[in-house]
């Protein structure tokens, strides 16, 4: 029976930044809680689907090095969301559709690049 791989409790809770926790809000490896609350349900669902696909694609790495994987996944997820948010603000963008499109393109690229860098560092 496959053991379900889930994000450690510590990693799940670090994403909950409060208004009084300025240092947490400025970290690059978490999604800002206020920013998440402004997203539509469809966008959040799309982000979840993309994240699940990226996790599934890299499941062997997750099994070998879960702490590193979740840390890097959180950083890549936050960066993809920031890039997507900037793209969605463009006057000619289609809002949520642009956000989803850019996020879906960025997250897999960022995670693949992080994994390649990690493998190169381990090979040295």
The tens digit of pLDDT for each residue in 8-26 reads 544 444 443 434 444 444 5
Lowest mean pLDDT among 6-10, 30-34, 80-84: 6-10
Overall average pLDDT of the 88-93 stretch? 90
Return the structure tokens found at 97: 């559709």
Q: Give the pLDDT band (50/70/90) at residue 43.
A: confident
Q: Give the pLDDT band (50/70/90) at residue 73.
A: very high
Return the structure tokens found at 42: 């469809």
Return the structure tokens found at 81: 């969301």
* % of the chain exceeding 90 in pLDDT: 49
What number of other Cβ atoms are within 10 A of residue 111's Cβ?
A: 23
Instruction: Determine the pLDDT at residue 63.
Output: 92
Determine the distance from the C-alpha atom of residue 106 to the mean position of all C-alpha atoms in its chain, rounded to a whole number.
Answer: 10
């Amino acid at each position: 029976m496959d053991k379900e791989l889930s994000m450690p409790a510590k990693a799940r809770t670090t994403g909950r930044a409060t208004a009084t926790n300025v240092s947490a809000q400025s970290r690059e490896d978490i999604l800002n809680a206020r920013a998440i609350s402004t997203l539509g349900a469809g966008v959040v669902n799309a982000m979840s689907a993309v994240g699940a696909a990226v996790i599934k694609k890299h499941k062997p790495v997750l099994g070998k090095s879960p702490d590193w994987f979740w840390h890097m996944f959180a950083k890549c997820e936050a960066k993809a969301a920031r890039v997507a948010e900037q793209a969605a603000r463009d006057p000619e963008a289609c809002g949520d559709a642009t956000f989803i499109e850019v996020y879906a393109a960025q997250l897999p690229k960022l995670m693949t690049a992080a994994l390649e860098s990690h493998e190169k560092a381990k090979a040295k």
